[in-house]
């Protein structure tokens, strides 16, 4: 999806022009994938642009950095404030936000200990990742031939830039085969997650999402969905899922900051009822939540002013 340039990007404590937000070709993160990032959305609300679960996203950025042994030279609050500033200065009613911490220019080689950490925060208008009709029409999924990382190979709990080569291989494979998205298996053959989303499957009236031990990212949208589902009276649990569970699912959906809540209409050409009643109810409540229309969850929205 093309990026629409905005006015300013926050880089190492300063707002710089979009086309001047540059790094050196010998930046460490460019060569070795040594960075961590977040995907966050701000939504238009009656009170102005509100950033959804901003604090939790920035806290997860710091957790990812800790797993990599990176020390971000700012506090959580400083990056929260910087995110609000960059959204406000660009004057966008809604947008996608990309905080990034990476090892910068000045050192090269596999020893990261001497490397400095640079931080940037950009935002731009971005539509629905899997399509505007992803809730009603659903997306076609394919089990990828690419396996999600083992915990002792690359830490899947960290939202690390280098990890996403794995995701990109799976995504492109699915697209070239005529599908919309890929589902990735854990090394033990059970379902982990999609290339960039968590997945939920309905079996016998119960919603199930894979555990972190399977290699799934600890999703903030996933947590949001679990909360909404339970408040709607649905049973939602974390448990193992086999690929056969997908083939005979009563309904299924994927979720993430970019994808929001998107129905699944088939897996490996096995049709799934779409959209299912739980998916429709959760998707509707989710959109009301992020746009500030559901008072139960307004504490998740942080105004960018």
Q: With CA atoms as reference, report the closest residue to 33 among 175, 191, 206, 155.
A: 155
CB 173 within 8 A of CB 145: yes
Could you give the CA distance from residue 159 to residue 148 in angstroms, rounded to a whole number?
13
Q: Virtual CA dihedral for 281, 283, 286, 291, nearest 10 degrees?
A: -110
Nearest Cα residue to 163 out of 64, 79, 66, 242: 64
Q: At what angle do helices 277-290 and 220-231 cross, to 10 degrees?
A: 110
Query: What angle is formed at CA 192 by the lines to CA 65 and CA 177, rounded to 5 degrees?
Result: 110
By the 8 A CB rule, do 47 and 303 touch? yes
Distance CA 257, CA 97 (A): 10
Distance of CA 243 to the CA centre of its chain: 22
Question: Where in the sequence numbering do the catalytic residues fall?
Answer: 159
């Amino acid at each position: 999806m093309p990026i629409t340039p905005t006015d300013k990007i926050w880089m190492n404590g300063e707002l710089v022009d979009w086309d001047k937000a540059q790094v050196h070709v010998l930046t460490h993160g460019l060569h070795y994938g040594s960075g961590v990032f977040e995907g966050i959305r701000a939504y238009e609300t009656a009170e102005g642009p509100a950033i959804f679960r901003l604090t939790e996203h920035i806290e997860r950025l710091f957790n990812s950095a800790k797993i990599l042994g990176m020390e971000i030279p700012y506090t959580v609050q400083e990056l929260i404030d910087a995110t609000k500033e960059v959204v406000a200065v660009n004057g966008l009613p809604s947008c996608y936000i990309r905080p990034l911490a990476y090892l910068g220019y000045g050192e090269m080689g596999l020893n990261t200990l001497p490397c400095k950490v640079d931080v940037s925060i950009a935002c731009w208008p971005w539509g629905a990742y899997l399509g505007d009709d992803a809730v009603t029409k659903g997306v076609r999924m394919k089990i990828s031939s690419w396996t999600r990382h083992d915990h002792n190979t690359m830490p899947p709990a960290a939202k690390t830039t280098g990890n996403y080569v794995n995701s990109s291989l799976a995504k492109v494979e699915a697209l070239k085969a005529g599908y919309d998205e890929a589902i990735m298996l854990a090394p033990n053959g059970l379902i982990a997650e999609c290339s960039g989303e968590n997945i939920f499957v309905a079996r016998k009236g119960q919603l199930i999402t894979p555990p972190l031990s399977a290699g799934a990212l600890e999703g903030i949208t996933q947590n949001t969905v679990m909360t909404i589902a339970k408040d709607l009276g649905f049973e939602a649990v974390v448990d193992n899922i086999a690929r056969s569970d997908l083939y005979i699912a009563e309904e299924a959906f994927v979720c993430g900051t970019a994808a929001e809540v998107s129905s699944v209409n088939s897996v490996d050409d096995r049709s799934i009822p779409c959209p299912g009643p739980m998916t429709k109810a959760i998707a509707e409540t989710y959109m009301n939540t992020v746009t500030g229309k559901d008072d139960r969850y307004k504490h998740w929205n942080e105004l960018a002013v």
